[in-house]
Amino acid sequence: EVQLVESGGGLVQPGGSLRLSCAASGFTFSNYWMHWVRQAPGKGLVWVSRINSDGSSTRYADSVKGRFTISRDNPKNTLYLQMNSLRAEDTAVYYCARGTGFGVLDIWGQGTMVTVSS
């Protein structure tokens, strides 16, 4: 079964850091571009970042550029999102998603909640 499972979310103070992980299974992880998408409570979907299949190319939304870093470990079938200098507006459910090679997101994880609050 193709599956993505996120972990690492939680409560963090403003200015703090958190690293999210996304464990992939059921497909050849190293063949796919991967993405992070977030959704604030009661709000719409917002694309955060993407990484190409070998990790050599990344892109970020302006709102997280310079604070978040996407990376991957292909032998471990795991995607990461390092989040630094967190702000209240980063509070959201963070989903990892598999990309089809363009920007179509065909498989999504269940999400992990990040709450930034003092």
Partner 1 sequence: DIVMTQSPDSLAVSLGERATINCKSSQSVLYSSNNKNYLAWYQQKPGQPPKLLIYWASTRESGVPDRFSGSGSGTDFTLTISSLQAEDVAVYSCQQYYGTPYTFGQGTKLEIK
89 belongs to the binding site for partner 1 (CB under 8 A): no
Q: Is 64 left (phi over 0), alpha (psi -120 to 50) or beta?
A: alpha
Q: State phi, psi for 53 to the nearest 5 degrees.
A: -65, -35
Q: Does 50 bind partner 1 (CB under 8 A)?
A: yes
Q: How far is the CB of 31 from partner 1 (least distance, A)?
A: 18
DSSP string, 16-75: --EEEEEEEESS-GGGS-EEEEEE-TTS-EEEEEEE-TTSS-EEE-TTTTTTEEEEEEGG
Single residue of 79, 95, 114, 116 touching partner 1 by CB under 8 A: 95
State yes or no: residue 110 binds partner 1 (CB under 8 A).
yes
Nearer to partner 1 by C-beta: 1 or 62?
A: 62
Q: Which single residue is written with the structure tokens 């403003």?
A: 14
Segment interacting with partner 1, rule: CB under 8 A, options 20-28, 41-49, 74-82, 83-91:
41-49
Only segment of 12-20, 22-30, 37-45, 74-82 that touches partner 1 (CB under 8 A)? 37-45
Give 101's DSSP letter.
S
Give the binding site for partner 1 (CB under 8 A): 35, 37, 44-47, 50, 59, 61-62, 95, 100, 102-106, 108-111
